[in-house]
Chain A
Amino acid sequence: MSPTPRPKNLNLLSIRMPVTAVLSIGHRIAGFLMVLATPFTIYLLEKSLRSAEEFAQAQEILSSNLRWLMLLPLGWFALHHLLAGLRFLLLDLGIGEDKQSAQLSAWTVFAVGAVGLILLLVVVA
């Protein structure tokens, strides 16, 4: 008797994801993008320390329009990753594991992240 093929749906966009899932993949994506940006950050650090002239150039780069493309997004990724990470640490300790608490904490992270984004926009501008 040949087995019937098991149903398979890998179309992620067709599945309604709970807020906790969105937070989790956002945490992963933010981390990944920050890893990609690490060489650039180290480069800026090196530049800022090499000479007074290059220190000024590094400041220039940070305050140029590049700040909208790099500083702001990276700052926001870092904030989200950190907040979601703290939530994960609490989950590791067993705090907030039930569905209600988990969803509440997930929304809280998004809310604090939104406030943080506004603050970042003010600081970066």
Chain B
Amino acid sequence: MNHLFTGTLAWMVQRIAAVYLTGFSIYMVGFVLLSPPTGYAEWREWVASLPVSVLTTLFFVSLLAHSWVGMRDILMDYIPGAGLRLVAIALVGFALVAQGLWAARILLGVAL
């Protein structure tokens, strides 16, 4: 059963999420610099549009997964005691999931 816990899945998730985050970030930076929304109405309509809301949801999923793996690496490297480490990782996990739910609520709020 050891092959299940080698960390390969986390490693892949982090890389795949990284690729998506890169693409999304480059697109967003280009968009904001080249054709920024002129006001609230346009901004809200753009975010609420189907493609943008779906892509942004994927962005947050990728961001949280990528952050999780990164934070887990940091905590594993620097916190020596297993008990303290477990508490720290759990807190970070809860914080990331909470932010995900917050982002989901925001995106649902504009779409509805």
Chain A residues with a Cβ under 8 A of chain B: 28, 31-32, 35, 38-39, 42, 45-46, 48-49, 51-52, 55-56, 78, 82, 85-86, 89, 92, 123
Contact between A49 and B39 (Cβ–Cβ < 8 Å)? no
Say which residue of B19, B40, B71 sits within 8 Å of A52 (CB atoms). Answer: B40
CA distance A42 to B43 in the complex (A): 15
Say which residue of A42, A56, A78, A89 sits within 8 Å of B18 (CB atoms). Answer: A89
- Name, among B15, B40, B74, B106, the residue most crowded by chain A CB atoms within 10 Å (CB to CB): B40
Q: Give the shortest distance, in Å, between B104 (CB) and chain A (any CB).
A: 11
CA distance A54 to B41 in the complex (A): 12
- Chain B residues 72-101 with CB under 8 Å of chain A are 73-74, 99
List the B side residues contacting A56 at CB < 8 Å.
40
Q: Give the shortest distance, in Å, between B40 (CB) and chain A (any CB).
A: 4
Q: Give the shortest distance, in Å, between A59 (CB) and chain B (any CB).
A: 9
CA distance A32 to B92 in the complex (A): 12
Q: Give the shortest distance, in Å, between A10 (CB) and chain B (any CB).
A: 13
Contact between B99 and A39 (Cβ–Cβ < 8 Å)? yes
List the B side residues contacting A123 at CB < 8 Å.
33
| A-B interface, 9 closest residue pairs, ranked by CB to CB distance from nearest | A55-B40, A52-B40, A46-B106, A35-B67, A31-B70, A49-B110, A49-B44, A42-B103, A85-B18
**Interface extent on B, as a size class?**
20 to 34
Interface of A is mostly: helix
A42-B103, A49-B44 are known contacts; what are 14 more A-B pairs with Cβ within 8 Å?
A: A28-B73, A31-B70, A32-B71, A35-B70, A38-B99, A46-B106, A48-B40, A48-B43, A49-B47, A49-B109, A78-B25, A86-B22, A89-B15, A89-B19
CA distance A78 to B15 in the complex (A): 16
CA distance A74 to B10 in the complex (A): 25
CA distance A123 to B41 in the complex (A): 25
List the B side residues contacting A31 at CB < 8 Å.
67, 70
Say which residue of B19, B39, B41, B106 sits within 8 Å of A42 (CB atoms). Answer: B106
CA distance A86 to B7 in the complex (A): 20
B63 at the interface (CB under 8 A from A): yes
